[in-house]
Amino acid sequence: MRNGSPRALLPVDAYRSDEWFAAEQGRLFADRWSLVASEDELAGPGDYVTAIAGAAPLVVIRGSDGDLRAFHNICRHRGAVLLSGSGALGRGGTVDCFYHQWRYMMDGSLVVVPQRKEQFPQLDLTEWGLLPAAIATWEGMVFAHPDPASEPLAASLQGITEHLGSYRPGRLHQVVRTQIEARCNWKLFVENHIDVYHLWYLHADSLGDYDHRHFKHRFVGPNWVSYEALKPNRDLEHAALIKGTTPIRHLELADQIGLRAQLIFPNTMIATSSEFWATYVARPVAPDRTVIDLRIRAEPEADCDALEGALRSFIVEDIRACEAIQQAVGSPVFGVGPMAAEHERPIATFHEHILAAVGNQ
């Protein structure tokens, strides 16, 4: 500790080395629930979404019985990835591997192996269904975990569920789903999300009506929650962060005049206003590349273009700062200096949790 300031704990290599990247994939993301979809995206039987949890490709399918199931998105024959993106299974409602046409049903069971009698005389179909993963839903959002015996999702949401305020995201509809590329390490984007210090400066215009001096925030385990209200002399009109769109009807006053920002450790972020509930997952692609997977929930008649435009412009403001740091991390003189005593303390705490999960490389 210098001058009472918290210190960044992660080494520079955490933002640039392949070894760190691999360690995070293996130790941090492989054993974690991932937000993979909104239930809106899986409305009918045969609808599916794919996702990557660490290095594990997963797929979630709504079955003909209406149930959601998660599987490893890997053919049991030679291991090819089966489905990509999202959509609806073809007319037969089966998952057909393009390579040698092994066929699986929506419940994961293997039903067709071409030339089975001659080429696989001993093969027991019941042993070679898709490998299951774990699935859970919360407030209209769908989460998957590579390990079917993982701890319940609720344990990963500690603090988040208690700090929802009056938000009931499950009552809203997903009105936007888009992705934004960032040329930076995923942790820089998360650190920016929990950095209170930058609100005055980087977002001077976009968040100028909010009272950052009374920004309330805290960690609950590795998760982080926050709330801030409008400045005292601002009226409700200033709370319209996005002009012309429909506000969320079920909010109480504190949430009509406030913003919430939260982190589900390690890389799922939530941001809310009186008009939207947004989640963005910072999905690592390479040490210096991240995809921000943005989903916005709102009233069904909300102006999706206005919402997407506004959220994009906030995120692009933040990405600009993260990319500016990323450009410097290769320099021999790069280093993180003293950090703000309270307003940047969450970054040091986030580092502690990363180190506890990944270990020092």
Under the rule (CB under 5 A), what is the footprint of Fe ion? 318
- According to DSSP, residue 281 is labeled E
Q: Which is nearer to ligand FES, 77 or 171 (CB)?
A: 77
Task: Output the smallest distance, CB 129 to ligand FES, in A.
Answer: 13
Out of 8, 97, 134, 271, which residue is the one contacting ligand FES (CB under 6 A)? 97
Segment near ligand FES (CB under 6 A), from 54-62, 73-81, 196-204, 253-261? Answer: 73-81
The closest of 321, 296, 323, 301 to 311, measured between CA atoms, is: 296
Q: Is 102 in the site for ligand FES (CB under 6 A)?
A: yes
Q: Which is nearer to ligand FES, 103 or 173 (CB)?
A: 103
Out of 27, 77, 171, 234, which residue is the one contacting ligand FES (CB under 6 A)? 77
CA 342/CA 47 separation, integer angstroms:
46
Which tokens belong to 328?
């410097």
CA 350/CA 356 separation, integer angstroms:
10
Task: Output the smallest distance, CB 140 to Fe ion, in A.
Answer: 25
The closest of 21, 9, 3, 34 to 346, measured between CA atoms, is: 9
Q: Which is nearer to ligand FES, 100 or 216 (CB)?
A: 100
Residues 95/98/102/106 CA torsion (nearest 10 deg): 0
- According to DSSP, residue 155 is labeled H
Helix (H, G, I), strand (E, B) or coil at 264: strand
Among Fe ion, ligand FES, none, residue 78 binds (CB under 5-8 Å by kind) = ligand FES
Task: Output the smallest distance, CB 314 to Fe ion, in A.
Answer: 7
Helix and strand numbers, DSSP H then E, in the chain: 7, 17
Q: Is 105 in the site for ligand FES (CB under 6 A)?
A: no
Q: Is 75 in the site for ligand FES (CB under 6 A)?
A: yes
Task: Output the smallest distance, CB 276 to ligand FES, in A.
Answer: 41
Helix (H, G, I), strand (E, B) or coil at 356: helix
Beta bridge partners of residue 260, listed in sequence order? 227, 272
CA 195/CA 322 separation, integer angstroms:
12
Q: Which is nearer to ligand FES, 7 or 78 (CB)?
A: 78
Q: Which is nearer to ligand FES, 61 or 294 (CB)?
A: 61
Instruction: List contacts with ligand FES (CB under 6 A).
Output: 75, 77-78, 80, 97, 99-100, 102
